[in-house]
Amino acid sequence: MTRMERRNLRNGILFALPYLIGGSIFMVYPLVMSVYYSLCHYNIITPPTLAGLANYRALFFRDEVFWKSVYNTLYFTAFSVPLSLILAVGLAVLLNQAVKGQSVFRTVFFLPTIVPIVASAVLWLWVLNPESGLINGMLREFFNVEGPGWIADIRWSKPSLILMSLWSVGGPMVIFLAGLADVPAVLYEAADIDGAGPWQKFRNVTLPMLTPTILFNLVMGLIGAFQYFTQVYVMTAGKGTPADSTMFYALYLYRNSFVYLKMGYASAMALLLFLVILAATVGVLISSKRWVHYHGE
Amino acid sequence: MRATYIRWVLVIAACAVVVALLWPSEAGSPDEKAALEEGRVIITYWDRHTGHEFDERKALIDEFNAVQDEVYVRALPVGFTMEKLLTSIAGRTPPDILSTEGSILTALAPQHCVMPLDGFIKESESINPDDFFPHMWRAVTFNGHTWGIPITTDSICLLWNKRAFRKAGLDPERPPRTMAELIEYASKLTVRDAAGLKQIGFLPWLPWDHTHMWGSLFGGKWFDDASGRFVCGEDTNIIAMFKWMQSFSIDPNAEKQLPYALNPEMVAAFRTGFGAYMSANNPFYSGKVAMTQEGEWQASFIPRYAPELDWGVAPLPQPEGAPPRSYSPTCVLDMIPAGAPHPEAAWKYIEWFNSPRPGGRPSPASDYNRAISNIPCRRSEATHERFMGDPVFSVFVKEVLTKETPVIPVTPVAQYFVDEVERERELVVLREKTPEQAARDTENNCNAELDRILAIMKRDQS
Amino acid sequence: MVYAVLLVLSAVFISPFLWMLSTSLKHESRIFPKPGEPPQWIPTTARVDAEGRPLVVYQGKTGVDMGRDKLGRHMLQLGDEQVTAWAEDFAVQQRAGLHWQNYADAFHRMAFWRNLRNTLFVCVTVVLGTLVSCSLVAYSFARIPWRGREIVFVLVLATMMLPYQVTLIPLFAMYRQLGWVGTFKPLVIPAFFGTPFYIFLLRQFFLGVPQDLSASARIDGCSEFGIYLFIILPLSKPALATTALFTFLFQWADFLNPLVYLQDDRQYTLAIALQQFQSQHENAWGPLMAMSSVITIPIIILFFLTQRTFIQGITLTGLKG
């Protein structure tokens, strides 16, 4: 190593020291303990006792609810991530044009991220109430149609939650707005000269320029969707009703850890989740080399 | 350069000032500090209830702090999230007293999480096990020890909407007394119009799952205390109960539907509707459900949320030949976690709370029950005028006074059992399982879970 | 055309929020619609006559509600006629009116100012700690070329992937050993070590600043720390504001960590205190919505005001790999 490299190495580590220390204490230490617990029977109250791969065997071969939770989570991720990306891009494109009251609109779409969860859940339970709720009420009044059972209906419970998750599209939207603002006007002018219409401009200029942002939101979206917990916990009182149709992976993990006191089992689930998210993220990052265009310095 | 330095220094100074201004209060109120000076023992009390129930408790705790000078109790509402309780137990910083429900006790006690109270009870003059309702005492006494003192209990009865009865041509003062009558009334009270369902006659799983209760009311046996195993698999009464539950949902294969059978999804919707339970939109209050099963707290809820409701209370009907039974899901109790720093002081509070006050006045526990409209766990208190004097409330109390009252099985897998039974019922109602299958699966799944837990506990003890 | 679509979508996005505000101003009895009634948006209150008796409409005729008889039926005086009717069969005349009592009740039920101060203390210190630590760490990943940097960065990202359910117990046990349980330390101190999300965000921004600036500063003999303090940070105000806003937001709403680590309700934060409006058998909906609104509105104003900086900030982030 040259002297320069050594100096950079030293400085690099020095500056990163806060998280190197902090991450080790607050993240790596629990991670290591989780791995340990996953190989134990641990009920939180008495000290853990080693059990080898028993938890993993039970998960894979003897637990129906585990597989249901995997299916539910994949279902949710498969729909909510693309839908929210598309909606966020769409909203950002709409709001990027000089529309009157831009700031107000942006605030409105960001609102859901700010409203307390307890209030949102209660509001959504009303919105989705099949009897007297907002959606079915309007369907009845304006279209004379009887809406579905939403959160109470096995077939509609996951779509209801997906719908709810779209409501928090404000965060990614704002990030896309920034990405859009970064697109050089020159490119649009050139496209105009070539006689491109709005759709072509979007497809050939906006979208490629937006790919770095899409990557960021995609990774964040995936991590969030795989760990989806809070909303479904509040909406179903932690139960995943009806009939486990909304028993998501993180919810089942929660039940195992703090309700059934099977912390070892929950740790095994957490470790599997960690590996899956890591694999998915690395996969996306590797594939990104092919479809992400970083505009030059 | 200099200018930027100065600016940074100013920024840092400003931040320091702001943080100093916002510096939060320390733990420990002025009263507590004064108590510490006096040399009192400070103990912590955690209540899983928040809101109104906690406020009532706090008032009584303030009284305790005022009438003696040895102990000071710091009360904290912690809510129903398990994380706080479990982390403090795992981290060995439990509170001195915890107020919680029976199903939590049965999960924690076998794991050496709770301090047995036998010694304290034996020495106490005012806490007499015989005075407590047997089903309540059984809920807190198992594996050879008593783990908590029950404070409140409930009883579930049939409530009906008198106006709906009148409209259907039924005598509003005469509730159904047999299962046949219940079904007959339910049929007459199920009202449909052109738009759809307008009124539900009766549903066994409103406002929440009561499968366990109905199994008992049918004379079934879910769990055998002696052997500690679940035994419902081949129990004909349990199977009959599941069949009966199933009859409330439409049978796609039947040519003619039972008049009281409903589309299960429509019904499932009632349960989770916004404000479904805790408000004026409760389907029973608003007349969408004509008959329902509810607890004694409704005696104070209904005048509050639905003062115009004209309603009646009666014991729940049971099938012919079933032993007379009432039902109490669980109790609220006070317990001392293992490793609590000041168990003697904690017991002083518990004893005071459950003893009559000087001069023969009712105990604080009785006051508490009255304030939140529950039933005390002691016979001597439950028969007091303040509970029996009210014609509506007394119906509930009479149920527990006069009948055998099963509770949720006293086993470490109580929570699991409750979830499992609800799941089975849902599948039966949706016709994805037969009643026989449901009964068998309940027994097998719960026993398997029980075995797993017991094996772990045995391993931990060896 | 664009405008129309935006308006429709806005209506969808804002309606639940408006409903929260509206509910907070309704009396308990009007919060939930009677069956068959559409939900009520504008809070109203009953019209009363001089003696405070509600004015009613029954079968097209107007009158006064004189009270209830033994059976619970209402006795209505409609001009000369006297009629008895059940509540569902007549309507109470309404006028626009706001039930501010909910707000009074809400403030009465909780030690609002104390909770606010506790919450602000945690939020402000966490914001400060995060800004300092994350900018330092991000600087390392963006402005100093060192061997192994990219791998360590991926590891940093990886630490975001473990759910709280499994980190809670080991962390709690560790804090207990340190004697931090029952204090604010577990809530505040970790922020001074960094958070992966903001490290990522700030790194992206720092990468967007031309490398030439650093290079020429180094040639001039400036130390790394000097470049960080005098060049990079001043150019990053928007990104720092962004980080500050998001951090504040999430800390403001955090319910679980304060609940687990605090042992006296004098230390409770707003998010926990909100729980006080819900008990096992009843929810005080009016005051709950009132307090929720109160808690939300300052953040909305904050967001609105910092919007300029906010969006500009992520712009300059550029997200250039």
- Region C192-208: what's the mean pLDDT? 82
Instruction: Centre a 10 Å sphere on the Cβ of residue A102 and count the other Cβ atoms it contains.
Output: 16
Chain A residues close to B451, C-beta within 8 Å: none
For B294, the enclosing helix (H) or strand (E) is: strand B289-295
Candidate from B273, B415, B430 with C-beta closest to A259: B415
Rounded Cα distance between B179 and B316, Å, is 9
A5 interaction partners in chain C (CB closer than 8 Å):
146-147
By C-alpha distance, the chain A residue nearest B113 is: A45
pLDDT above 80: residue A49: yes
Q: What gap in Å lies between CA C269 and CA C275, rounded to an integer?
A: 10
Q: What is the pLDDT of residue C318?
A: 41
**B161 and B282 in contact (C-beta within 8 Å)?**
no
DSSP chain A: --HHHHHHHHHHHHHHHHHHHHHIIIIIHHHHHHHHHHTEE--SSSPPEE-TTHHHHHHHHH-HHHHHHHHHHHHHHHHHHHHHHHHHHHHHHHHHS--TTHHHHHHHHHHHHHS-HHHHHHHHHHHT-TTT-HHHHHIIIII------GGGSTTTHHHHHHHHHHTTTHHHHHHHHHHHHTS-HHHHHHHHHTT--HHHHIIIIIHHHHHHHHHHHHHHHHHHHHT--HHHHHHTTTS--STTTT--HHHHHHIIIIIS--HHHHHHHHHHHHHHHHHHHHHHHHHHHHH--PPP-
Q: Specify the pLDDT at position B249.
A: 81
pLDDT of B49: 82
Q: Do B270 and A133 touch (CB under 8 A)?
A: no
Yes or no, beta carbons of C267 and B25 under 8 Å apart:
yes
- Is the omega angle on the peptide bond into residue B364 within 30 degrees of 0, that is, cis? no
Looking at residue C281, its pLDDT comes to 53
* Contact indicator for C157, C200 with CB cutoff of 8 Å: yes
- C-chain CB neighbours of A253 within 8 Å are 163, 165-166
pLDDT at A226: 93
Tell me if B82 and A132 make a contact (CB, 8 A cut-off): no
Q: What DSSP designation does C106 have?
A: H
Residues of chain B positioned with their CB less than 8 A from the CB of A126: 274-275
Q: Does A286 touch chain C (CB under 8 A)?
A: no
CB under 8 Å to A130, separation ≥6 — which residues?
A136, A147, A148, A149, A150, A152, A153, B266, B269, B273
Q: Look at the block and give the residue holding tokens 């009390």.
A: B45
Among chain A residues, the shortest Cα distance to B93 is held by A45
* Residue pLDDT, tens place only, C62-81: 888 887 665 556 788 888 88
Tokens 């989780």, residue? A34
Which residues in chain B have their CB less than 8 angstroms from residue C128's CB?
A: 15, 19
Helix axes C285-317, A117-127, angle to 10 degrees: 110
What pLDDT was estimated at residue A177? 74
Q: Which two tokens stand for residue B201?
A: 């006659």
In this predicted structure, what is the pLDDT of residue C30?
64
Residues 6+ apart with CB under 8 A from B283: B200, B206, B207, B270, B273, B276, B289, B292
Confidence check: pLDDT of A242 > 70: no
Backbone angles phi, psi at C83, to 5 degrees: -135, 145
CA angle centred on B64, ends B63 and B68, rounded to 5°:
115
Instruction: Among C166, C174, C192, select the one facing A267 at the smallest CB separation.
Output: C166
Do the bridges between strand C91-92 and strand C55-58 make them parallel or antiparallel, or are there none, so unpaired? antiparallel
Q: Which of A30-34, A88-92, C42-46 has the lowest mean pLDDT?
A: C42-46
Sign of CA dihedral B317, B319, B323, B328: negative
- Residue A79 confidence (pLDDT): 94
Inter-chain CB proximity B77 and C88 less than 8 Å: no
Q: Between B302 and C188, name the one with better pLDDT.
A: C188
Q: Which residue has the higher pLDDT, A45 or A241?
A: A45
Mutant choice from A140, A155, A260 vs B, greatest count of B C-beta within 10 A: A260
Chain A nearest-CA distance from C238, in A, is 12
From CA A170, how far away is CA B1, in angstroms rounded?
A: 40
- Round to whole Å and give the CA distance between B281 and C145: 64
Cα dist from B280 to B171, B283, B310, B416, C21, whole Å = 26, 8, 14, 32, 19
> pLDDT tens digits, residue range C269-314?
888 888 777 665 556 777 888 888 888 887 887 777 666 664 554 4
CB-CB under 8 Å, C124 with B19:
yes
A95 shares contact with chain C (CB less than 8 Å): yes
Contact (CB<8Å) B268/A45? no
Give the CA distances from residue C304 to residues A109, B30, C45, C246, in Å, rounded to whole numbers and listed in that order. Answer: 12, 41, 32, 13
d(CA B84, CA B360): 39
Question: Which pair of structure tokens corresponds to residue C32?
Answer: 């939930």
The yes-or-no verdict on residue A106 having pLDDT over 80 is yes
Enumerate the residues of chain C whose CB falls inside 8 A of the CB of residue A292: 321
Dihedral-angle region of residue B132 (phi above 0 means left; psi in -120 to 50 means alpha; beta otherwise): beta
Closest CA to B269 of A130, A136, A121, A243: A130
pTM for the complete prediction?
A: 0.80
Contacts of A17 in chain C (CB under 8 A): 136
Joined tokens for residue C72: 């619970």
Of A132, A236, A243, the CB nearest to B426: A243
Instruction: Identify all chain A residues contacting B459, using CB atoms and an 8 Å cutoff.
Output: 41, 49
Q: Is residue A207 predicted with pLDDT exceeding 50?
A: yes
| Nearest residue of B to residue C276, measured between CA atoms | B51
A111 to chain C: which residues are within 8 Å by CB?
A: 13-14, 17, 300
Mean pLDDT of chain A: 82
Chain A residues with CB under 8 Å of a chain B CB are 41, 43-47, 49, 122, 125-126, 129-133, 146, 149-154, 236, 239, 241-244, 258-261
Q: What CA–CA distances, in Å, run from C289 to C33, C34, C275? A: 16, 20, 12
C82: how many CB neighbours lie within 10 A of its CB?
11
Position B324: which residue type?
P
Helix (H, G, I), strand (E, B) or coil at B110: helix
Q: Whole-angstrom Cα distance, residue C176 to residue C172?
A: 6
- pLDDT score of C321: 33
Structure tokens at B303: 């005048």
* C265, C269, C272, C277: best to mutate for the B interface, most B CBs within 10 A: C265
**pLDDT at A296 exceeding the cut of 60:** no
% of chain C surpassing 90 pLDDT: 11
Peptide bond into A242 cis (omega under 30): yes
Cβ A149–B89 below 8 Å, yes or no? no
What is the residue-level pLDDT of chain B in tens, covering all 462 positions?
677 778 878 888 888 888 888 888 777 788 888 888 888 899 999 998 877 788 889 999 999 999 988 899 999 988 877 788 888 887 888 899 999 888 888 888 877 889 999 999 998 888 888 888 888 888 888 888 999 999 988 889 999 999 889 888 888 888 999 888 888 888 888 887 665 667 788 888 877 778 899 998 998 889 988 888 999 888 899 999 999 988 888 877 777 777 777 776 666 555 444 344 555 556 787 777 889 888 888 887 787 767 778 889 999 999 988 888 888 888 889 999 988 999 999 999 999 998 888 887 888 999 998 888 888 888 888 888 888 888 888 888 888 888 888 888 888 888 888 888 988 888 888 888 899 999 999 999 999 988 877 876 676 555
B346-355, C36-45, C144-153, C270-279 — most confident range: B346-355
Digit-coded pLDDT (tens) for A55-79 = 898 888 888 889 989 999 999 999 9
Residue in the structure block whose two tokens are 């990052």: A285
- For the beta carbon of residue C307, count every other beta carbon within 10 angstroms: 17
